[in-house]
Structure formats: structure tokens, C-alpha cells
Structure 1
Amino acid sequence: MLYFVLIIHVIVSFFIVGIILLQQGSSADLAGAFGGQGSQTAFGPRGATTLLTKLTAWSAVLFMITSISLTVMLSRSSGDHSVLSGAGHPVTQTTPKK
């Protein structure tokens, strides 16, 4: 199961990179370059949601789900190796003899 989720995670990672590179910037048109309507707002005018933005959102959700599930699966398989796992035990220090 771990390897299956890992393969899905890598595929989704490459898909996110590709889908983001295909998208056009928010003010990448010619009007935004010369101070047109695109530069009146902080990130340009909001248009209709395209298929690429929907795919980006769903793949980001899938990426987060696979990331969390990989973290949980790896922590269960490797045992309790937390930094704070030994916090309740008293620390003993020895001083060297002079």
C-alpha cells in the first residue's frame, strides 16, 4: 500500500508541475505590460474559472492527501522515533573527577 501511494504521489507531483507551467500568468497580456486594465488590481482581473485552474486545485488536494497519508504510513512502520519520546525520563549528568 505504501508503494502504491508513493507512485500516486510522484505522478500527481509531475502533473502539478506540468499543469502550472501550462497556465498563463495573471497579467501576462499586453495590456498589463503597458499599464492597461490588467494592472488596476493586485493580481489582474478575475476571469472565469478555467479547466486548468480546476485541475490545479484538485491535484493540489490530492497531493496534500497523499502527503499526509505517506507521513502517517511511514511513522507507523518506523515506530516511535519522536524527539520528545524521551522527554519524561530524568536526565542524569555526571561530573568528571578532579
Structure 2
Amino acid sequence: MEKITLVVHILLAFGVIGLVMIQQGKGADAGASFGGGSSQTVFGGQGSGNFLSRMTAIFAAVFFVTSMVLAVVASNKAKGINDIGVPMQEMTEVLEQDAPIVEEYAPVADAPDVDVSIDDVPVLEMPAE
């Protein structure tokens, strides 16, 4: 269901972009008054403005619906990831009771001082070919 919604969402996005790009701006109507209006007879006497604007509105409305559906699906998936069967409150209480908390790092008094230099590291030599 999610994949179908995602595919429809992407197709609607491209559809809205295409419909917006096809539409004429408001200033294009001035050319029709000087005899340039005969090119819009494919969409009827009123031109393509009505048809294209309605289609853009429908595509945009469905695009918003698919956006909301995808948001709900993503939210449910995020809740499912956090709910993996581990009771968080109980785990926190167990960790607070059993785990010692180290306040600060203190060196061990009996540990020997080790001084390692680069000369002590063995070098592997590759055999000559």
C-alpha cells in the first residue's frame, strides 16, 4: 500500500509541475484581443484556462492527500521501530540499580609504566620479486 501511494504521489508531483508549466500567465490574455485567440480552439471556446486550472486543483488536492497518508505511514513505522518489545522504564530501573557509575577515571596504582617507542614496533619486509 505504501509503495503504491508513493508511486501515485510522485506521478502527481510531476503532473502538477507539468500542468503549471503548460498554463499561460495572466498577461497572455492581452494577445488574444489582437487576434491571437484562435490557437485555443482545441479546449473549446473558453480556452484551456478552465480545464487546466481545474486539473491542477484536482492534482494538487490528491497530492496533499497522498502527502498526509505517507506522513501517517512514516509515523507508524517510527513508532514501530521504538516499540521492539523492550520495556524502557523497567530497563532504566534495572540499569540504575545494578550498574556501577564511574565518577571519574583514576589510574590503577599497581599498573606498570610502559613506554613504547616507534623503534619497538616490528617492520614486515616484503620479499623481493
State the TM-score, normalized to the length of structure 2.
0.46
Alignment partners' CA distance in 2, 1:74 and 1:63: 16
Partner of 1:91: none
Count of aligned residue pairs for this structure pair: 68
Deviating above 4 A after TM superposition, structure 1's stretches of 4 or more consecutive aligned residues are: none
Partner of 2:11: 11
1:56-94 CA-partner distances (Å, limit 9, x unpaired): 00001000000011000110011179xxxxxxxxxxxxx
SS in 2 for 1:11: helix
1:8-40 CA-partner distances (Å, limit 9, x unpaired): 000000000001100000123446xxxxxxxxx
The RMSD of aligned alpha carbons is 2.7
State the TM-score, normalized to the length of structure 1.
0.60
Bigger radius of gyration among the two: 2
> Identity of counterpart residues, as a percentage?
29
- List runs of 5+ in structure 1 lacking aligned partners: 32-46, 82-95
- List runs of 5+ in structure 2 lacking aligned partners: 32-45, 82-102, 105-129
Partner of 2:50: 50
SS in 2 for 1:53: helix
Alignment partners' CA distance in 1, 2:74 and 2:4: 13
User: Which structure shows the higher helix fraction?
Assistant: 2
